[in-house]
Amino acid sequence: MKVPLWRVAFARSGDKGDTANVGLIAFTESVYPFLVDNVTADKVKQHFKDICRGSVDRYELPNLRALNFLLHESLGGGGTVSLMLDAQGKTFSAALLRMEVDVPEELVHEADEVSGWSERLE
Partner 1 sequence: MPDSPDRPVRVASGQGFWGDWQEAPKLQVRRGPIDYLMLDYLAEITMSILEKQRERDPTAGYARDFVDMVLDLAPDLVSEGIRVVSNAGGVNPDACRDALVQRLADVDTVRPLRIATVRGDDLMSRLDEVLAAGHELRNMETGEPLSTVRERVTAANAYMGAGPILQALRQEADVVVTGRSTDTALTYGPLIHEFGWKADDWNRIAAGVVAGHINECGAQACGGNTLFRWRELDLIEPGYPIIEASADGSFVVTKHASLGGRVNWASVTEQLVYEMGDPTEYITPDCVADFSTIRLEDLGDDRVRVTGVEGRPRPELLKVSIAYRGGYKATGTLTYSYPDAYEKAVAADRVLRGRLDRLGLEFDEIRTEYVGAGACHGPLAGPPDPSVPEVELRISVRGEDRARVKRFTRELAPLILAGPPTVTGFAAGRPRVHEVMAYWPALIERDVVESVVQVEVTEA
Interactions with partner 1, residue window 32-71 (CB under 8 A): 47-48, 50-51, 57, 59, 61-64, 66, 68, 70
* Helix or strand holding residue 80 (H, E): none
CB of 7 to partner 1, least distance (A): 12
Decide: is 115 part of the binding site for partner 1 (CB under 8 A).
Answer: yes
Decide: is 93 part of the binding site for partner 1 (CB under 8 A).
Answer: yes
**Which residue from 35, 56, 95, 108 is in contact with partner 1, where contact means CB under 8 A?**
95
Size of the site for partner 1 (CB under 8 A): 43
Decide: is 11 part of the binding site for partner 1 (CB under 8 A).
Answer: yes
Quickly count: other Cβ atoms within 10 Å of residue 88's Cβ. Answer: 16
DSSP for the chain reads: -EEEGGGTEEEEEEEETTEEEEEEEESSTTTHHHHHHHS-HHHHHHHTTTT--S-EEEEEEGGGTEEEEEE-S-STTSTTT---TTTT-TTHHHHHTTSEEE--HHHHHHHHHHHTHHHHH-
Interaction site with partner 1 (CB under 8 A): 6, 10-12, 14-18, 21, 23, 25, 47-48, 50-51, 57, 59, 61-64, 66, 68, 70, 76-81, 83-86, 91, 93-95, 97-98, 115-116
